[in-house]
Amino acid sequence: MYRLVVAVGREVSPPTFLRLAGHPVRWRLLSELARGDRQVRELTELVGEKQSLVSYHLGQLRSARLVSMRRSSADGRDAYYTLDLTRCGELLAAAGGGLHPALRLVSPPAGSVEPVRTSARVLFLCTGNSARSQIAEGLLQALAGGRVAACSAGSHPKRLHPNAVRVMSVRGIDLSGRSAKHLDTFIGQRFDYVISLCDRVREVCPQFPGHPDLVHWSMPDPALDGDTDAGTYPSFERLAADLEARIRFFLHVIDDRDDGGTIPTGSESGA
């Protein structure tokens, strides 16, 4: 006589990313932050929930290091929330493999970028056009292989910071011959995307014809992190690394739009 023995496996919790992203409010927050950095009041309006509930779910996402927060440079009482797309990708890949090895996603080799199949015009804005927007312009031009027309300007232009030149030189990109430009230079021109990198310039961003997608990446001024060029250089390196990661993801947004994708980067009309 035989007995059927059933082995009961240990209880396995769902992967972290699935548990977090599976909640409707958190999924909405992740989706909105994937389009650009946002303040709590903006997220509250976008998801249609009370601020206390939105803050609670943002706390859950911050605990998992999917989302980070920094105080606004325009008004220290406000804060901007940023989504870590790289970490989201890593956790999503691990989640598939947790269910079955055949479902593990394979990330592309480090440093690789899909060829850009479309031509788009992108304008980066910050206050001085001396570091953040200049670095972003140079990175997008290099990573897109010349298929994207990138420009940059500032609301109060000042000389190009030497650390911006140095940190880009390490990446094989020469900024030494560039000069700062006022954002008025581009008023009346058409762009597909206008990306503000400074909380202050976001407040004074002019309207551009053609209703471009307005995107905000809240990034601190690296020149304020020390008294000497040597002291601020690590902040410039962190800025360049952050911008490079964001721009690599942004190139996929441009291609998705060209392919008729339905998820825009997020027009900020009414924000």
Residue 259's Cβ-count burial label (10 Å; 0-12, 13-18, 19+) is exposed
Predicted confidence (pLDDT) at residue 269 exceeds the cutoff of 50: no
pLDDT of residue 92: 87
- Give tens-digit pLDDT for 75-124: 878 899 999 999 998 888 888 887 877 777 665 554 455 555 557 999 99
Whole-angstrom Cα distance, residue 128 to residue 180?
A: 7
Mean pLDDT over residues 124-131, rounded? 96
Would you put residue 120 in left (φ > 0), alpha (ψ -120 to 50) or beta?
beta
Confidence of residue 263 (pLDDT cuts 50, 70, 90): very low
**Would you state the structure tokens that stand for residue 222, as one six-digit string?**
């690296």
C-alpha count within 13 angstroms, C-beta hemisphere, residue 14: 8
Q: Where are the beta strands (DSSP E) in 127-200?
A: 148-154, 193-196
pLDDT of residue 9: 52
- Helix (H) and strand (E) counts in the chain: 9, 7
Collapsed DSSP state (helix, strand, coil) of residue 32: helix
Q: Give the strand pairing for 120-126 and 193-196.
A: parallel
- Give tens-digit pLDDT for 15-63: 888 989 999 999 999 999 999 999 999 999 999 999 999 999 999 999 9
Predicted confidence (pLDDT) at residue 155 exceeds the cutoff of 50: yes
DSSP state of 242: H
pLDDT of residue 43: 97
Whole-angstrom Cα distance, residue 190 to residue 251?
A: 19
**Catalytically annotated residues:** 126, 198, 205
- Give the DSSP H/E element, type plus range, for residue 20: helix 16-21
Q: What domains are there in the chain, each with its CATH number?
A: 16-103 (1.10.10.10), 120-258 (3.40.50.2300)
Whole-angstrom Cα distance, residue 20 to residue 97?
A: 17
Residues in the chain: 271
Q: At which residue do the structure tokens 């989201």 appear?
A: 88
Whole-angstrom Cα distance, residue 30 to residue 33?
A: 5
Residue 29's Cβ-count burial label (10 Å; 0-12, 13-18, 19+) is buried
